[in-house]
Copies of this chain bind each other. A is one copy, B any other.
Amino acid sequence: MNELIEQALNGRRRAIARLITQVENDPATAKQTIMKLFRNTGQAHIVGITGPPGSGKSTLVNELAKELRRRTRTVGIVAIDPSSPFTGGALLGDRVRMRDLAGDSGIFIRSMASRGSLGGLARATGDVVKILDASGFDVILIETVGAGQAEVDIARAGHSTLVIEAPGMGDEIQTIKAGILEIADILVVNKADRPGSNRTVKALKAMLMLGSGTVNQGHHGPKPVTDESAHNSGKLDDSWPVQVLETIATDGDGVKNLVDVIIAHKTYLQSSGEWKNREFARSKQEIGQILQTEFLDRLYDSVPLKEWEGLIASVAKREIDPYSAVDKLFARSVQNE
């Protein structure tokens, strides 16, 4: 176990892969592993990439990885992959991707299934990112199928957040409808050779102006429910102008420029002190996630299965309400301490 971690820290691919598998499958191993390698993290630039299905995220991520490699950066890719019993897990696109990037020891790709418990995926993703970070990858790209809250939260947990849009996917701009526009540090209109691309770029720019106006006027409109509003509005302040870039990932068009902007964003974060703020925000979020899962684990261990099932059945039969059921469980767990 210790040997495996040491090998991973030395960048040995097979050790990294095995370690990730262990960490994904077993929370107890995850805890031991992260405790040991956490001090080696903190060097990587973590970039979250999200957008609606069909916006060409995977292809763009591939091209970003290739361009970063040309600049001698090593790249870790964590793809949150909505697996399904229908598709047999990994999607075809992923297998194409593997072939495209395989054989480059400076790139490490890991797909993770998104069908799981809510907190579990975020926890596991965080742990995998830490392993790649500690193993020395310079840039870590986290790709999620956006539009969903859990996936968006994962994408925004990095240092830089890219939101990908594509023209002509319907009547509206998808990212606006999905409410993820405001988390973007960089907006990308991919498939820019499609008709309607200019209109999409213009609409996004208009929304950005509207959005930053809203924030500057002191949070008119609905306030974000989370306590991360400071983090959000930080993204909209004058010091980092959110740009709208066009790419055609299938041809590699615009990818060099996009990488320039991603690197510029890192420089901005570090020189402005915002890097530290985001590290603080991420640490806070991580502690919250670990707290929740650890608490539930401890509770499941301490309450016998029969009692659990009896309580759930009582709620299902409306003999007791779920809040009172939880009160009972708390009372019980305090007794056990």
A114–B147 Cα distance when bound, in Å, is 10
Stretch at the interface among A5-13, A14-22, A171-179, A256-264: A171-179
Stoichiometry, as copies per complex, reads: 2
The answer to whether B115 and A226 have CB atoms under 8 Å apart is yes
The answer to whether A149 and B34 have CB atoms under 8 Å apart is no
Is A2 on the interface with B (CB-CB < 8 A)?
no
Residue of B nearest to A54 (CB): B170
Over the window 112-146 of chain A, the binary record of Cβ atoms lying under 8 Å from chain B Cβ atoms (1 yes, 0 no) is 01111111111000000000000000000000011
Is A306 on the interface with B (CB-CB < 8 A)?
no
Known: A52-B147, A148-B151, A287-B312. A84 touches B326 (CB 8 A): no
Known: A170-B53, A178-B53, A326-B294. A118 touches B287 (CB 8 A): no
Is A88 on the interface with B (CB-CB < 8 A)?
yes
Known: A311-B287, A322-B38. A211 touches B85 (CB 8 A): yes
Over the window 316-327 of chain A, the binary record of Cβ atoms lying under 8 Å from chain B Cβ atoms (1 yes, 0 no) is 101001111110
Stretch at the interface among A63-71, A96-104, A216-224: A216-224
Q: Which of A295-337 contact B (CB under 8 A)?
A: 295-296, 298-299, 311-313, 315-316, 318, 321-326, 329-330, 334, 337
Is A268 on the interface with B (CB-CB < 8 A)?
no
Name which of A87, A152, A329 has the most chain B CB atoms within 10 A of its CB.
Answer: A87
CB distance from A167 to the nearest CB of B (A): 12
The answer to whether B321 and A226 have CB atoms under 8 Å apart is no
Residue numbers in B under 8 Å from A270 (CB-CB): none
A326–B87 Cα distance when bound, in Å, is 37
Known: A145-B177, A179-B87. A313 touches B170 (CB 8 A): no
The answer to whether A284 and B299 have CB atoms under 8 Å apart is no
The answer to whether A182 and B315 have CB atoms under 8 Å apart is no
The answer to whether A181 and B323 have CB atoms under 8 Å apart is no
CB distance from A144 to the nearest CB of B (A): 9
Known: A145-B147, A170-B169, A294-B330. A222 touches B113 (CB 8 A): yes
A193–B183 Cα distance when bound, in Å, is 35
Over the window 283-299 of chain A, the binary record of Cβ atoms lying under 8 Å from chain B Cβ atoms (1 yes, 0 no) is 11011101110111011
A286–B323 Cα distance when bound, in Å, is 9
Is A210 on the interface with B (CB-CB < 8 A)?
yes
Jot down 25 A-B pairs with beta carbons below 8 A, ordered by A. A53-B147, A53-B174, A54-B171, A54-B174, A84-B180, A85-B211, A85-B214, A86-B176, A87-B176, A87-B207, A88-B222, A116-B226, A118-B119, A121-B149, A145-B148, A145-B178, A148-B149, A149-B151, A169-B170, A279-B316, A283-B313, A287-B322, A287-B325, A290-B326, A292-B296
